[in-house]
Amino acid sequence: MRRFAGVVLGGVLAQAAILGTFGQLSPHHPGAVVVAFRVSTTGLIGGYVAAALGTHHPLRTATAAGASAGVGVGVAFWWTVLYGDTVGVFHQLHYVLATAPIPGRLVRTAPRAVAAVAALLVAAAFTAGGYLGGWMVATTRAARRD
């Protein structure tokens, strides 16, 4: 169990490092597609790192790393949208949310729900990216055995 937790932590730290670099990019407002690509690619790299470091069950470790980072970023994003100042990566996510074609009445009546759905989408993108990273490691290992 400690090895699994250590490997997942390694994947999460890799994702944190990548998010830190994205936060330092120029303060322009990328489109939704660019932000989605960045989020899922970050999950993919973190999942790949976790799966490559682990010895057994690369899909589980990669998915756990992607989900752990995704939930953390999703919760932090939800909180900063409602209560804090969105800076760095969170500013880019907030810009995508602010420019999304969401009816204004829904945003005014249920801002917490809108932010929660956006946070869930971010967490799901991290998790899917992590799973894909684990799948890459699993197929590579299977090809080497054959």
The 10s digit of each residue's pLDDT in 2-29 is 888 888 889 899 998 888 887 777 667 7
Rounded to an integer, what distance in angstroms lies between the CA atom of residue 54 and that of residue 93?
A: 31
Rounded to an integer, what distance in angstroms lies between the CA atom of residue 47 and that of residue 64?
A: 8
Contact 114, 97 (CB under 8 A): yes
Between 99 and 124, name the one with better pLDDT: 124
Contact 89, 19 (CB under 8 A): yes
Mean predicted confidence (pLDDT) in 57-86: 87
Buried b (16+ CB within 10 A) or exposed e, 69-88: bbbbbbebbbebbeeeebee
Residue 133 has pLDDT above 90, yes or no: yes
Percent pLDDT > 90 in the chain is: 30
pLDDT at 27: 64
Q: What is the mean pLDDT of the chain?
A: 86
pLDDT at 55: 74
Between 46 and 105, name the one with better pLDDT: 46
pLDDT at 128: 94
Residue 67 has pLDDT above 70, yes or no: yes
Band the pLDDT of 110: cuts 50, 70, 90: confident
First-to-last C-alpha distance (Å) of the chain: 29
User: Which residue carries 């069950």 as its tokens?
Assistant: 57
Nearest to 52 by CA among 135, 145, 143: 135
Mean predicted confidence (pLDDT) in 47-68: 90
